[in-house]
Amino acid sequence: MDDKTALVVIDTQLGMFETPGLPPVPDGERLLENIEGLLREARNTGATVVHVRHGEGEGPLERGTRGWEIHPRVAPAEDEPVVDKETPDSFLRTRLGDELESRGIGRLVLAGMQTEYCVDTTCRRAFSLGYDVTLAADAHGTWDEGGLSAAQIVAHHNEVMGNGFADVVPAAEISFREPAGA
């Protein structure tokens, strides 16, 4: 694979942040701020940015509804592709792999929603496909579930992903600059 880096922002849709009856994403403001910082850094260095958007039948991410739209704070720039998906795996039956290959991408920086589903699955799949993966430790989120707090779920997934699947790095420490000689 090539050495170019892409930021892949997963499922940062309005339905994740503004659905009546769904509790707010814990630390959602900080999460959006960290993703905004990653987007700024990627765009300032000319790195590829790809947005992944989950669609489903009825529910907060129903295709064509307001909830399906990407949050305006982290919305795609005009030249940034949006890849639509229907499963937690951002690569399965999508054009993500083609988008990355056409741009010579070998390293992925992952951020977004939902830690234990789409972020985890996409991270593992990217690793299996041979990408050099960096998970932004503080730029993915979820809700409390199964007796665990969102912070515990994020911390657990950071630890698991950091044991061979990805480099786990705070968003502020992630660089999109290409290594010398690349």
Grade residue 21 by pLDDT with cuts at 50, 70 and 90.
confident
Asked if the structure places residue 164 within a domain, the reply is yes
Q: What are phi and psi of 146, to 5 degrees?
A: 60, 35
Specify the number of domains making up the chain. Answer: 1
pLDDT digits (tens, 9 = 90+) for 122-139: 999 999 999 999 999 999
CB 178 within 8 A of CB 3: yes
Q: What is the pLDDT of residue 179?
A: 59
Asked if the structure places residue 23 within a domain, the reply is yes
Domain that residue 53 falls in = 4-106+114-173
Residue 149 is encoded by which pair of tokens? Answer: 């707090």
Q: What is the pLDDT of residue 20?
A: 86
Asked if the structure places residue 181 within a domain, the reply is no
Whichever domain contains 129, its CATH number is 3.40.50.850
Asked if the structure places residue 88 within a domain, the reply is yes
CA dihedral (145, 34, 123, 12) in degrees, to 10, reads 70
Asked if the structure places residue 180 within a domain, the reply is no
Asked if the structure places residue 122 within a domain, the reply is yes
Which residues pair with residue 112 across a beta bridge? Answer: 10, 140
> Is 60 exceeded by the pLDDT of residue 182?
no
Q: What is the pLDDT of residue 2?
A: 61
Q: Is the peptide bond before 152 cis (omega within 30 degrees of 0)?
A: no
Asked if the structure places residue 97 within a domain, the reply is yes
Asked if the structure places residue 179 within a domain, the reply is no
Q: What is the pLDDT of residue 56?
A: 86
The whole model's pTM is what? 0.96
